[in-house]
Amino acid sequence: MLKITSLCIICGFLFFSSPVKGQNQYNIWYFGDSSGVDFNSGIPVALSNSSMYAFEGCAVMCDSSGNILFYTNGGDHGAWQGGVWNRNHVLMPNGDLNGFNGCNSADQSSLIIPAPGNPSLFYLFTLDCIENGLAGGLRFSIIDMTLDNNNGDITVKDSL
């Protein structure tokens, strides 16, 4: 019993004495037809400045201050363009995802993961949709935010 109490005290001390830093990388959401929400002020603020149409899935990445870096719907579907748009709401170089293996009709069409140890690189995972028989499967691309005047570029695209 004494060991459990001591462990709880030590864990509590470590928890409350550690500096707490907020991660703002997910403070802006884009979805649907040019819609979004900005949570940076603590109060949700509606956005309508996205260049993307996302039938279902999408993903967004911000920097640690909550500034938008890029967003994607993971790929095309029917008449809806697939792409990766930069902070200026313009397709990145190599950001056109039409005709590739992702699909913006997949429930989780895309996922963005920061590269460990390199804050300028991001992995973008895309998934094909059931309408395509999942033929494209799971793919990844690499986005380097140091390229195109720090607006980002895709250096590896739609890889297995």
- pLDDT tens, 112-128? 999 999 999 999 998 87
How many residues in total does the chain contain?
Answer: 160
pLDDT at 8: 40
Strands 91-96 and 28-31: unpaired
Q: pLDDT confidence of 75, banded at 50, 70, 90? A: confident
pLDDT at 152: 97
Please give the single-letter amino acid code of residue 147. L
The pair of structure tokens assigned to 155 is 């250096």
Q: What is the DSSP letter of 34?
A: T
pLDDT at 17: 38
CA distances from 61 to 15, 16, 57, 95, 144 (A): 28, 29, 14, 15, 13
- pLDDT tens, 39-56? 999 999 999 999 988 878
User: For the whole model, what pTM was predicted?
Assistant: 0.80
**Mean pLDDT in residue range 73-90:** 83
CA distances from 34 to 17, 21, 42, 46, 51 (A): 42, 31, 22, 11, 6
How far apart are alpha carbons 146 and 40 in whole angstroms? 24
pLDDT at 24: 85
pLDDT at 132: 65
